[in-house]
Amino acid sequence: EPEVTQTPSHQVTQMGQEVILRCVPISNHLYFYWYRQILGQKVEFLVSFYNNEISEKSEIFDDQFSVERPDGSNFTLKIRSTKLEDSAMYFCASSERQLAKNIQYFGAGTRLSVL
Amino acid sequence: AQTVTQSQPEMSVQEAETVTLSCTYDTSENNYYLFWYKQPPSRQMILVIRQEAYKQQNATENRFSVNFQKAAKSFSLKISDSQLGDTAMYFCAFMGNTNAGKSTFGDGTTLTVKP
């Protein structure tokens, strides 16, 4: 069964550094998403992406964050100048179509630890 | 804005028994989609079941079923014949029909199945 792949599974970085979280969505999917889950808290929407541009972003997704689809397969989340409070699990998801009858498939997540 | 409320932070059930997890939501939309996700200790997000709001019939997936009460904006998950592998965090999520595929999650319910 096709799946969303996220790398690395765990990323440790120093405060102030930049990190890039990588995702390979399911190959025929067109819509891509990033969510964040701070330990012990709910999953929060960050951004959705379609046709090489952001469709919607949350208040969390400020100028510190950016997304990119650099080639035909990868979908990346860049966090500039990381802060301690950026420590969280980051989930990538993809769907074939925007409407929910096409399910969002989640990756296994990248645990980001900012020291 | 949509909100999702899970009023039970923790639940426990004996193996082979039935348990119901509660979820309520608030929205002004008429067409939308509701989901239950399972998050085991590995922290992967696994879709358990989904419900389309325009469908009267409650969704069922093997041992998992929902009680969808649209007027009450309630969407509970029933797990029958509970198994030890059902131990996980369960999230209720809402997706509107008009936004860019963004899902809004509840705070989650930690379910422990006891042998």
pLDDT of the residue at A71: 86
pLDDT of the residue at A73: 85
pLDDT of the residue at A40: 82
Contacts of B33 in chain A (CB under 8 A): 100-101
CB pairs under 8 A between A and B: 71
Chain B residue with the nearest C-alpha to that of A106: B45
Give the β-pairing of B88-96 and B32-39.
antiparallel
Q: Which residues, at least 6 apart from B71, have a Cβ–Cβ distance to it below 8 Å?
A: none
- Say whether pLDDT at A97 is over 80: no
Question: Which residue in the set B44, B50, B104 is minimally distant from A103, CB to CB?
Answer: B50
**Weakly modelled stretches of chain B, pLDDT under 70:** 98-100
Torsions phi, psi for A7 (to 5 deg):
-135, 150
A4 pLDDT band (50/70/90 cuts)? very high
A58 pLDDT band (50/70/90 cuts)? very high
Task: Work out the minimum CA distance from A95 to partner chain B, whole angstroms.
Answer: 9
Collapsed DSSP state (helix, strand, coil) of residue B84: helix
pLDDT of the residue at A76: 97
Under an 8 A CB cutoff, do B52 and A101 touch?
A: yes
- Cis ω for the linkage preceding B41 (within 30 of 0): no
Question: Which residue in the set A42, A58, A98 is minimally distant from B105, CB to CB?
Answer: A42
pLDDT of the residue at B42: 80
Percentage of the residues of chain A whose pLDDT score is greater than 90:
72
Over range A95-107, report the average pLDDT: 76
Task: Work out the minimum CA distance from B97 to partner chain A, whole angstroms.
Answer: 6
For residue B101, which of A103, A87, A77, A80 has the smallest C-alpha distance?
A103
Could you tell me which residues of chain A have a Cβ less than 8 Å from any Cβ in chain B?
A: 31, 33, 35, 37, 41-45, 48, 50, 55-56, 58, 89, 91, 93, 95, 98-101, 103-109, 111
Paired tokens of A65: 């964050």
Q: Which residues, at least 6 apart from A40, have a Cβ–Cβ distance to it below 8 Å?
A: none
- Say whether pLDDT at A66 is over 60: yes
pLDDT of the residue at A21: 97
- Say whether pLDDT at A1 is over 80: no
